[in-house]
Amino acid sequence: MMNNNKLIIAAAGSGKTTHLVNEALKIKNEKVLITTYTQANEEEIKKKIVEENLKRNGFACIPENITVQAWFSFLLKHGARPFQGILFEKRIKGLLLVNELSGLRYKFNLKGKEIPVYYKEDSEFEQHYFTKETKIYSDKLSKFVIKCNKETGGAVINRVARIYQHIFIDEVQDLAGYDLELLKLLFKCNSEILLVGDPRQGTYSTNSASKNKRYQKSQIVYFFQDKSIKIKTDDTSLMVNYRCNKPICDLSNKLFPDFQSTTSGNNNATEQDGVFLVKEQDVDKYLRHYKPTQLRDSKKREVSDICQVMNFGESKGLSFDRVLIYPTQEYIKWIKDNTHELKGTSRSKFYVAITRARYSVGIVVSNNFSGTQIPFFVP
């Protein structure tokens, strides 16, 4: 067992994915797996590998010793399918991605409230893990893999370690539930594990299982503080945000005061730099002059068609020169009073939105808004 596992807690715009790719490209004679939750990030990693490999070695390709695979695809290929016969006689015909607890049996009404009842693992194994078409539920996949590993005396994890001497996980804050139990098993194998992520950008989760619920998204940092977990934590080397200028970094730091503060590596000056409040009456003028990307919490918020528009979560991982944010009332309360309590996911979404901009962040407010030191945009 190597015990050379490492977690890097990174800042937005610090180049964490590029760092992970560069570490992978240093390895020549051993197999490397790079895995991440979303397919969008999987494609971004592949793109970066091709770009960096072209710079380093003159080859616009992914080296044959490096495999990039989305988290669920990895679990299916190396965890569930090779050992499915241990637990399940039928063939697993794929994955069903779910956004809530799976395996619902029925609901009953109790005093006007619907109470869900789910299939039990022990007595209703197939319905608990699978659809009628024998597709495995995404929120049960890691649990199934762990059960296979236990029934085979650790054969699942041993097989993965024999195939990949290095396992890199990007956006580790997205992992939840039994995925974290799987991490514990990987930490004890002979592979070298490198995790990279920014807990402040915890807008997604692989599942909503009750297992390890207290460690979801930004709270995942506390999972790694468990003394039984053998991993080195680095929360300093990737704390420079090369995307955002100082005023933008300063505002984003206020969202997570308990985390290591990020510093700006962007010293470029433009005609408008920093954070500004934009009154509703001035939005059109702001859009026409600066042409920012508009960011909103959901599609329910109507915005102008003058400039590009995206939801907060959709913008994750992207960079723009300028953004104009349409905040909810909860965000407005926080802008007025930074001690106002925001829910975890809401806090992370706002952090993502703010840190997309290189030079300026505009925040839309009512025409009579007051009570903050953030300057107003003056047409």
Cα 71 to Cα 295: distance, rounded to the nearest angstrom: 28
Quick check: helix, strand or coil at residue 73?
helix
Q: What are phi and psi of 85, to 5 degrees?
A: -65, -20
Under a CB-based contact definition with an 8 Å cutoff, are residues 24 and 34 in contact?
yes
| pLDDT value, residue 2 | 45
Q: Among 328, 355, 331, which residue's Cα sits nearest to residue 341? A: 331
Dig out the tokens for 96 from the structure. 């069903």
* pLDDT given for residue 7 in this prediction: 96
Alpha-carbon separation of residue 50 from 18, 43, 45, 62 (angstroms): 11, 11, 9, 6
Count the neighbouring beta carbons within 10 Å of the beta carbon of residue 155.
15
Confidence at residue 3, expressed as pLDDT on a 0 to 100 scale: 63
Q: Looking at residue 4, what is its pLDDT? A: 84
User: What is the spatial distance between Cα 264 and Cα 278, in angstroms, rounded to a whole number?
Assistant: 24
- Which residue, among 195, 324, 311, 319, has the nearest Cα to 272 in the 3D structure? 324
The 3-state DSSP class for residue 69 equals strand
258: left (phi over 0), alpha (psi -120 to 50) or beta: alpha
| CA–CA dist 76, 38 (Å, integer) | 15
C-alpha–C-alpha distance, residues 291 and 324, integer Å: 9
Amino acid at position 246, single letter: K
Task: Say if CB 10 and CB 198 are below 8 A apart.
Answer: yes
- The reported pLDDT for the residue numbered 371 is 80
Q: Encode the chain (379 residues) as per-residue pLDDT tens digits.
A: 446 899 999 999 999 999 999 999 999 999 999 999 999 899 999 999 999 999 998 999 999 999 999 999 999 999 999 999 999 989 999 999 999 999 999 999 988 899 999 999 999 999 999 999 999 999 999 999 999 999 999 999 999 999 999 999 999 999 999 999 999 999 999 999 999 999 999 888 999 888 999 999 889 999 998 888 889 999 999 999 999 999 999 999 999 999 999 999 999 999 999 999 999 999 999 999 999 999 999 999 999 999 999 999 889 889 999 999 999 999 999 999 999 999 989 999 999 999 999 999 999 999 999 888 999 999 8
Query: What pLDDT does residue 372 have?
Result: 85
Model's pTM, two decimal places? 0.90
Taking the CB of residue 326, how many other CB atoms lie within 10 A of it?
A: 24
CA-to-CA distance for 296 and 304, rounded, in angstroms? 11
State whether residue 316 is helix, strand or coil: coil
Q: Is 309 helix (H, G, I), strand (E, B) or coil?
A: strand
Phi, psi dihedrals of residue 63, rounded to the nearest 5°: -55, 145
Q: Tokens 């903050």 identify what position?
A: 372
Q: In angstroms, how far is the first alpha carbon of the chain from the final one?
A: 63
In degrees and rounded to multiples of 5, residue 200 shows phi and psi of: -70, -20
Tokens of 68: 């990039």
Alpha-carbon gap, residue 38 to 28, rounded angstroms? 26
In sequence order, the 6+-apart residues with CB closer than 8 A to the CB of 301 are: 326
The whole-angstrom separation of Cα 82 and Cα 63 is: 25
Confirm if 177 and 145 have CB atoms less than 8 A apart.
no
Neighbouring C-alpha atoms within 13 Å toward the C-beta of 363? 25
Helix ranges (DSSP H) in the chain: 16-26, 39-57, 71-75, 125-129, 141-151, 155-163, 178-187, 220-223, 246-255, 283-290, 329-336, 344-354
Q: Look-up: residue for tokens 């970094």?
A: 249
Between vectors from CA 374 to CA 371 and to CA 379, what angle results, nearest 5°? 105
Cα–Cα dist 213/215, whole Å: 5
